[in-house]
């Protein structure tokens, strides 16, 4: 894949996410349905955090494209690869799959119909659909060096636990679950749900590694970028 195409792709993806985040953050000052942005604003939603994650990754990727010399050995490139392999791909894919799976069963559990008045359809798809095509596109346009699996799983587990504590803190502070679905679970059920979700994220990490190796086996082996 030529460097020009890669540069255009990364800049376009970064610009798109910056546009979406800006529009979503602007909603914080509007009259939204009760509980939507109370305590923590959009920062308590995995969807919003994922948008920031994707924007950060594509921003780093765009900066990395401008580097001269042996980019594979640069600190920036290592950070970019780590961010994509361990967080951006598995978390972004998880958000898309989980959201549409729950919506297919009962959208009120995760995205109540009352929200449609405030978030137009394009914004819903920007948050919950287009993330996946952008990630798959990244797999195709550039190889990534994956870390040792045990280190990746430790990082994923730490971030997952931190987010779990955050949404529990929000509930204990204002008595509202970030997602209506969580109100249907007992304490053991919430623990089980957390471990199930983390298992899915781990599988998605492994999937990303397999896809990366499938498309770029020669480059990954040689460490080329």
- Residue with the bigger pLDDT between 34 and 139: it is 139
Phi-psi region at 147: left, alpha or beta (left = phi > 0; alpha = psi -120 to 50): beta
Across 31-35, 36-40, 76-80, the highest mean pLDDT is recorded for: 76-80
Contacts of residues 203-207 at CB distance under 8 Å and 24 or more positions apart, as own/partner, are 204/89, 204/90, 204/93, 204/94, 204/97, 205/85, 205/86, 205/89, 205/90, 205/152, 205/153, 205/156, 206/149, 207/90, 207/93
Exposed, middle or buried: residue 159 (CB in 10 Å: 0-12, 13-18, 19+)? Answer: middle
Check if the beta carbon of residue 212 is closer than 8 Å to that of residue 85.
yes
Residue pointed to by tokens 């498309």 = 215
Residue pointed to by tokens 């460490």 = 223
Check if the beta carbon of residue 93 is closer than 8 Å to that of residue 132.
yes
d(CA 147, CA 168) in angstroms, rounded, equals: 30
d(CA 221, CA 145) in angstroms, rounded, equals: 9
The per-residue pLDDT for 220 is 56
The per-residue pLDDT for 224 is 43
With a CB cutoff of 8 Å and minimum separation 6, the contacts of 94 are 197, 200, 201, 204
pLDDT digit string (tens) for 76-126? 889 999 999 999 999 999 999 999 999 999 998 888 888 888 888 999 999
- Nearest C-alpha neighbor of 208 from the set 154, 112, 160, 136: 136
Both tokens assigned to 150: 């045990």
- Nearest C-alpha neighbor of 143 from the set 77, 70, 95: 77
The per-residue pLDDT for 33 is 66
The per-residue pLDDT for 39 is 79
Lowest mean pLDDT among 33-47, 70-84, 108-122, 188-202: 33-47
């Amino acid at each position: 894949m030529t460097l020009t195409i890669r540069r255009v792709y990364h800049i376009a993806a970064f610009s798109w996410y910056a546009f979406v985040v800006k529009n979503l953050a602007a909603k914080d000052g509007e009259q939204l349905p009760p509980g939507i942005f109370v305590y923590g604003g959009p920062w308590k939603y995995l969807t919003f955090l994922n948008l920031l994650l994707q924007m950060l990754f594509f921003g780093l990727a765009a900066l990395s494209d401008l580097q001269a010399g042996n980019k594979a050995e640069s600190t920036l490139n290592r950070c970019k690869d780590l961010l994509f392999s361990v967080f951006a791909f598995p978390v972004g894919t998880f958000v898309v799959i989980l959201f549409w799976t729950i919506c297919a069963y009962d959208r009120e559990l995760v995205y109540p119909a009352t929200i449609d008045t405030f978030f137009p359809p394009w914004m819903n798809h920007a948050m919950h659909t287009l993330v996946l095509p952008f990630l798959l596109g990244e797999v195709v346009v550039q190889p990534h060096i994956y870390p040792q699996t045990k280190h990746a799983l430790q990082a994923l587990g730490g971030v997952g636990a931190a987010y779990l504590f955050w949404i529990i803190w929000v509930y204990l502070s204002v008595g509202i679950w970030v997602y209506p679905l969580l109100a249907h679970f007992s304490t053991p059920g919430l623990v089980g749900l957390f471990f199930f979700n983390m298992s899915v994220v781990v599988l998605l990490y492994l999937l990303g590694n397999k896809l990366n190796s499938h498309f770029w086996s020669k480059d990954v082996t040689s460490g080329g970028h």
